[in-house]
A = this chain, B = another copy of it.
Amino acid sequence: MSGFRHVAMFRWAEGTTTGQQDEVAARLGELPGVLPEIREYSLGTNAGVNPGGYDFVVVADFADKDDYLAYRDHPAHRAVVEEFVSPIAAERAAIQYEL
């Protein structure tokens, strides 16, 4: 399989409500309907198996780097990041790689 994958993990700030966390997942979950460049979009909440894990993850697959960049910079994505993700994110870990 070929393609380009973006992975971003977040640790939510202390005091963040589950309502805020659910809102992030709900808003991000709307993006595949807006951005046809998204081939696969997987959102995950820590299953609580191991200590020290991050709270939330986005795994997004694209045909190529350009499609990823279109997603990264799209106003609909930026709006969700600025309004819902950044305000509650204490830590972020990310990587992009060729599939």
Stretch of A4-12, A16-24, A29-37, A75-83 on the interface side: A4-12
By size class, the interface of chain A is 20 to 34
Interface of A: prevailing SS: strand
A47's contact among B46, B52, B72, B98, by CB below 8 Å, is which? Answer: B98
- Whether A57 pairs with B95 at a CB distance below 8 angstroms is yes
CB-nearest residue of chain B to A97? B44
Residues 30-56 (chain A) with a chain B CB within 8 angstroms: 42, 44-47, 49-50, 52-56
Q: Assembly of this chain: how many copies? A: 2
What is A's interface to B at a CB cutoff of 8 Å?
4-5, 7, 9, 42, 44-47, 49-50, 52-57, 59, 65, 68-69, 72, 93-99
Question: Could you show 30 A-B contacts with beta carbons less than 8 Å apart?
Answer: A4-B47, A5-B42, A5-B44, A7-B7, A7-B9, A7-B44, A9-B9, A9-B93, A9-B94, A42-B99, A44-B95, A44-B97, A44-B99, A45-B97, A46-B95, A46-B96, A46-B97, A47-B98, A49-B69, A49-B96, A50-B94, A52-B94, A53-B94, A53-B95, A54-B93, A54-B94, A54-B95, A55-B95, A57-B95, A59-B59
